[in-house]
A and B are shown apart, each in its own frame.
Chain A
Amino acid sequence: MNIFVDRTLCDNHGQCAISAPDVFRMNTEGILEYDEVVDDALHNDVEDAIDVCPVQAIFILNEG
């Protein structure tokens, strides 16, 4: 599946990196880095990350 984070909304809280650490990471500057193409096996983790995001900035573009 393909993931999109709306950077105009993202405030780099890092909650997604707690929920789905295989997909989302905070770099040493505290800025989000993420994989845009993700294995469907991580679907539940990504759903948790989408739900928990305080600014609701994460979207699944298409299911694989």
Chain B
Amino acid sequence: MSTVAPAPYFDISDSTFAMHSEAVRAARSQSWFARTNYGVAVLRYNEVSHLLKDQRLKQGSAQWPEHNGVHGGLFFDWWTENLLVLEGEDHHRIRRLVNPAFSPRHIEPLIVRFEALAEELVNNFVADGHCEFVRDFAEPYATRVLCILLGIPETEWPTIARLASTVGLALGVHIKRDLEQVEAALAELYAYAEALIVDRRAAPGDDFITRLVVANRDGDSLSDAELRNAIVLLIFGGMDTTRNQLGLALQSFVHNPEQWDLLGQRPDLGRKAVDEVLRTNPTTTWVTREAVADFTYNDLFIAGGTTVHLFTQVSGTDPLAFPDPEMNLLGEHAPHYGFGGGVHHCLGHFVAKADMGVALPLLARRLRNVRIDGVEEWMPDSGNTGPVRLPLSFTPAP
């Protein structure tokens, strides 16, 4: 009789569960998957790479509002019609229409503005020798980059940041409790988006929103509701993720000071730095999928409807795929899945690489000997994570 060791088990909603833990690393060396209180978790790189693009799985968040007792209303309607959860031709049609606006050829010319913004924000605090990084840099930078992209006055960034964070509460476990403020914030974002659409229809320019408004493919174009939903998704998906990822990047570099020194001297490594941080310390610590129907993968039977969590950070540091898994800006590594993958691959990844790719080398040059100095505050480790408060000390440099 053969015996098979039982798969590891994790309660991933337990507040003590940690991705960066010996327990998770031990599970990864024992088994390619773990069982969890929310279905299966995939721990190793090769399996994550395959399953991320496997057509037998679909995006796993479509049912999120319903699973939390939300069966209708403004948020429900937006969520169930947004690109994140659409599948098949409904998804592909919208993606074909919005993709060109995110093309690298349109993003590259904005990089000088992103860099000037980073310089301005750093100049506000650098002489002090300390900062609260989320408040002083990550949040205003991430939000003002969105304002630049959307053509909203940058002075309005605190409003956009507040609205995006409030809508973000809908992804938390208290969605039902927070629903009223989520929907109020969503209504305000709708008003912003609708005003932008009306404005660009009346006076088209050479800008991102105009490109969405005039996007046309074989006579098909986005309706006003589809345009509005896409713009709100961009604000919702682009702000928190970038803010969190910048904070996580600083955490990584505080622990890798020689890499920070290297980045300060080599701004050409900016995008490599973004890739290495997304591989080893991503804000999206897992990508959720759901089995479309019953199937078997690597001898594991996965019933239709099963949630499959693809653990990005854990698989991105899998020693089977990365013999030397530590962050290394000069290393050659397999592609990471910090932007997800397959048909739902992050739409804004060129923007993210461009904006963080200029911000990180600039920070590395101006904030020397950076260290954590004070009380940190962090979001839970599951789902989308990052610092809420990250006090830093450093030696100012010109």
A interface residues, Cβ below 8 angstroms from B: 11-15, 18-19, 26, 30, 48, 51-52, 54-56
Given contacts A51-B105, A54-B349, contact A15 B343 (CB under 8 A): yes
- Min Cβ gap A27→B in Å is 10
Contact assessment for A51 and B100 in the assembled complex, using a CB-CB cutoff below 8 Å: yes
- In the bound assembly, the distance between CA atoms of A19 and B103 in angstroms comes to 12
- In the bound assembly, the distance between CA atoms of A27 and B315 in angstroms comes to 25
- In the bound assembly, the distance between CA atoms of A18 and B95 in angstroms comes to 8
CB neighbors of A among B54-81 (8 A): 54-55
Q: Of B55, B103, B345, which contacts A54 at CB under 8 A?
A: B345
Contact assessment for A13 and B342 in the assembled complex, using a CB-CB cutoff below 8 Å: yes
B314-349 vs A, Cβ < 8 Å mask (1 yes, 0 no): 000000000000000000000100010111010001
Given contacts A11-B335, A30-B50, contact A18 B96 (CB under 8 A): yes
Top 7 nearest A-B pairs (CB, nearest first) are A51-B103, A18-B92, A52-B99, A13-B345, A54-B345, A11-B335, A30-B53
Contact assessment for B100 and A48 in the assembled complex, using a CB-CB cutoff below 8 Å: yes
- In the bound assembly, the distance between CA atoms of A45 and B345 in angstroms comes to 19
Contact residues in A for B54 (Cβ distance below 8 Å): 30
Contact assessment for B104 and A14 in the assembled complex, using a CB-CB cutoff below 8 Å: no
Contact assessment for A14 and B53 in the assembled complex, using a CB-CB cutoff below 8 Å: yes
- In the bound assembly, the distance between CA atoms of A52 and B339 in angstroms comes to 14
- In the bound assembly, the distance between CA atoms of A48 and B102 in angstroms comes to 10
- In the bound assembly, the distance between CA atoms of A38 and B105 in angstroms comes to 23
Contact residues in A for B95 (Cβ distance below 8 Å): 18
- Nearest-CB residue, chain A, relative to B105: A51
Q: Mind listing 28 A-B residue pairs with CB under 8 Å?
A: A11-B335, A11-B341, A13-B53, A13-B343, A13-B345, A14-B53, A14-B343, A15-B343, A15-B345, A18-B92, A18-B95, A18-B96, A18-B99, A19-B96, A30-B50, A30-B53, A30-B55, A48-B96, A48-B100, A48-B103, A51-B99, A51-B105, A52-B102, A52-B103, A54-B339, A54-B345, A54-B349, A55-B335
Contact residues in B for A55 (Cβ distance below 8 Å): 335
B72-113 vs A, Cβ < 8 Å mask (1 yes, 0 no): 000000000000000000001001100110111100000000
- Min Cβ gap B397→A in Å is 33
Contact residues in A for B96 (Cβ distance below 8 Å): 18-19, 48
- Min Cβ gap A16→B in Å is 11
Contact residues in A for B345 (Cβ distance below 8 Å): 13, 15, 54
Contact residues in B for A12 (Cβ distance below 8 Å): 53
Contact residues in A for B339 (Cβ distance below 8 Å): 54
- Min Cβ gap B324→A in Å is 20
Starting from the known contacts A52-B103, A54-B349, 8 additional A-B residue pairs (CB-CB under 8 Å) come to A11-B49, A12-B53, A13-B345, A48-B100, A51-B99, A51-B103, A51-B105, A52-B102
- In the bound assembly, the distance between CA atoms of A3 and B349 in angstroms comes to 24
Contact assessment for A18 and B343 in the assembled complex, using a CB-CB cutoff below 8 Å: yes
- In the bound assembly, the distance between CA atoms of A54 and B348 in angstroms comes to 10
- Nearest-CB residue, chain B, relative to A18: B92
Contact assessment for A19 and B349 in the assembled complex, using a CB-CB cutoff below 8 Å: no
- In the bound assembly, the distance between CA atoms of A56 and B275 in angstroms comes to 15
- In the bound assembly, the distance between CA atoms of A12 and B335 in angstroms comes to 11
- In the bound assembly, the distance between CA atoms of A56 and B107 in angstroms comes to 15
Contact residues in B for A26 (Cβ distance below 8 Å): 55
- Min Cβ gap A22→B in Å is 11
- Nearest-CB residue, chain A, relative to B52: A13
Contact residues in A for B92 (Cβ distance below 8 Å): 18
Given contacts A30-B53, A30-B54, A55-B335, contact A14 B342 (CB under 8 A): yes
B343-379 vs A, Cβ < 8 Å mask (1 yes, 0 no): 1010001000000000000000000000000000000
- In the bound assembly, the distance between CA atoms of A18 and B103 in angstroms comes to 15
- Nearest-CB residue, chain B, relative to A21: B92
- Nearest-CB residue, chain A, relative to B91: A18
